[in-house]
Structure 1
């Protein structure tokens, strides 16, 4: 396909109102299901599925599988930059309908367990803080702890050695409610254990939700650079 033909294909895909609504809705960095994107665009699920297939094939979107679910997100920063440029030209700014994702229970959205690691706003905030400080590097399928991260965990006495020799040290796990990654693998499990054993968090009886204690708020901020004051 020539450059001109490729240009025309991308322009046509982004130019359809339904597809434009879905692309605009993904600009916050989250990954959404086909049904959520269909609701966002005001189209049927069947039509949305067709649009999503075309945009994925063209390289505008990528699909992530999490259990039984398939989530769609923008394929790259370059796609986001293209959409942002179009949005600036299309002033006034396009409006995007809010999409509720994940559990309705506020406690579960704030913090919960995901198998043997932490999820929700709490889990994603920990991942964000470690990445922002340069302690961790996260890719699509795997993560890597940096030398400063190793030192941080050693100083905090958080053991990141897995008892299972074959276990992945670190991997991103797409969060159900935040639709951004929290930490799984040996690092995720180590943080989960340390937070509970140190009394930073406690379980909410009868649910997967966890709450952060006052001491936990302070320790997460001072030890990991996680500011949960807005939770």
Structure 2
């Protein structure tokens, strides 16, 4: 997907098949063409149909972004104006109960995939002299809680990575933003969790839209959004 000078900007969204990624795709579809990336092709195709109904041209790429080779093969060379690094996983349990597989899965998706995906598309942005990298972080990137030894560690990494990358590429015309939501009503939480007070995925999507639609001379680098109160359910 290589747009002409008169076509719409292209946004690539990882973890686009559900939750926050799905909401971001719908938020950007009216003004962007989309490259949607996730592991489940059937879910991606369903999201693509919704986005096409909103006016977007959509390309679906079924890939596990923690796989360095596959990610490089499928994403390198794509024309991408906006990259939304959204893919993420969470395992909330005490350190001594966490398996090595659970630990490495979080690091591979929440940390290493940031390298694989960003490294594949960032050179094109720098060469063209414009672009935007938006990363979905978490308020866990500046606080901690019991059961979050790995998850909060990965989100602290996101904060350091985003700011360092921003300083490296801003003079090339590429912006870097990190959106840090509090609790969001998604299936990252175990069954039975009271989610009536949490942010909705579209709230995070709106924050992404605000960041990438800022004037060219203005960079929204960190944007924190959180529920008003865990004691106040969302209005119906």
TM-score (normalizing by structure 1): 0.25
TM-score (normalizing by structure 2): 0.25
Higher gyration radius (CA): 1
